[in-house]
Amino acid sequence: MTQEKASKTRKSEILTATKELIDQGYYYKDINMKKISVMTSFSRPSIYNYFQTKEEIFLALLTQEYVDWSGELYSLNEQAGQIHQQEYIEKLAQSLENRPLMLKLVSNNLTDFEENSRMELIIPFKASYGETLKAADSNLQHFFQKMSEKDRNEFLFAFFPFIFGLNPYAVGTKKQKEGLKQAGVAYTYHSVHDLTLNLLKKLLKIEG
């Protein structure tokens, strides 16, 4: 195994270990290098050869999530002319429903992620985010051909900030739900799909 391939394998193992901790219910603040190392086949000091901070690990996870999501969005363009606008926004909403890790990650303070990461990790992160914007814009050009560039930009910068706050509104933690209950706040949790679909219908003026 070459050194480059070995490095990629180790990085992948670290990212997988972190995903597993998140899946087990740990939050960003509760995850540290020690917990991550326990889930891998090597020691905590070895992790620092690949990621200098836990924020770099989370940033790398989010980068991969954006890469995967943008690929999924671009693939929707192939269905232009075959499905209606209503079907497209259903698929777009479902694409977010299928990305719980991405939504959990973006609901954290991304400023902390970036301020505690090296530029060599920030640049690909920014590029992956930019690619999701391009992918979503290409969807609009394929499925809403009459939209002007100005209208597309207005949509993107309403839709993407919405995504950052989607997870707590759609999922919420036990403590958040208990807090609402004890405060007497009548709040009904809706799925990521339903919240997203409702917004898309309003932004894109789709009936039904």
116, 141: one domain: yes
* Residues 24, 91 within the same domain: no
pLDDT for position 44: 87
Nearest Cα residue to 47 out of 76, 15, 14: 14
Q: Are residues 37 and 119 in the same domain?
A: no
Q: What mean pLDDT is reported for the chain?
A: 94
| C-beta separation of 6 from 14 below 8 A | no
CB-based contact 103:192 (threshold 8 Å): yes
Mind giving me the DSSP string for 97-146?
A: HT-HHHHHHHTS-HHHHHHTS-HHHHHHHHHHHHHHHHHHHHHHHHH-TT
pLDDT given at position 37: 94
Q: What is the pLDDT of residue 187?
A: 81
- The two three-digit tokens of residue 165, written as one number: 């706050």
- Per DSSP, the three-state class of 41 is coil
Q: How many domains does the chain have?
A: 2
Domain identity same for 59 and 45: no
CB 167 within 8 A of CB 104: yes
Give the Cβ contact number of residue 196 at 10 Å: 24
- Domain co-membership, 143 together with 187: yes
Instruction: Determine the pLDDT at residue 1.
Output: 64
Please state, in angstroms and rounded to a whole number, the distance separating the CA atoms of residues 106 and 66: 10
Domain harbouring 112, CATH code: 1.10.357.10
How do residues 143-155 score in pLDDT, each as one tens digit? Answer: 999 999 999 999 9
Residues 44 and 76 in one domain: no
Per-residue pLDDT of the chain (208 residues; tens, 9 = 90+): 687 787 889 999 999 999 999 999 988 999 999 999 999 988 888 999 999 999 999 999 999 999 999 999 999 999 999 999 999 999 999 999 999 999 999 999 899 999 999 999 999 999 999 999 999 999 999 999 999 999 999 999 999 999 999 998 888 778 888 898 899 998 888 899 999 999 999 999 998 6
Do 22 and 108 share a structural domain? Answer: no
Same domain, residue pair 44 and 70: no
63 and 123 inside one domain: yes
- Residue-range definition of the domain harbouring residue 129: 55-204
pLDDT score recorded for residue 174: 82
Which pair of structure tokens corresponds to residue 175? 């403590």
pLDDT of residue 135: 98
Contact 163, 96 (CB under 8 A): yes
pLDDT digits (tens, 9 = 90+) for 95-142: 999 999 999 999 998 999 999 999 999 999 999 999 999 999 999 999
**Alpha carbons 133 and 125: distance in angstroms, whole number:** 13
Is residue 89 within 8 A of residue 200, CB to CB? The reply is: yes
Instruction: Give the integer Cα–Cα distance in Å for 179 and 174.
Output: 8
Residue 208 pLDDT: 67
CA dist., res. 39 & res. 35, Å (int) = 7
Check whether residue 171 and residue 113 sit in a common domain: yes
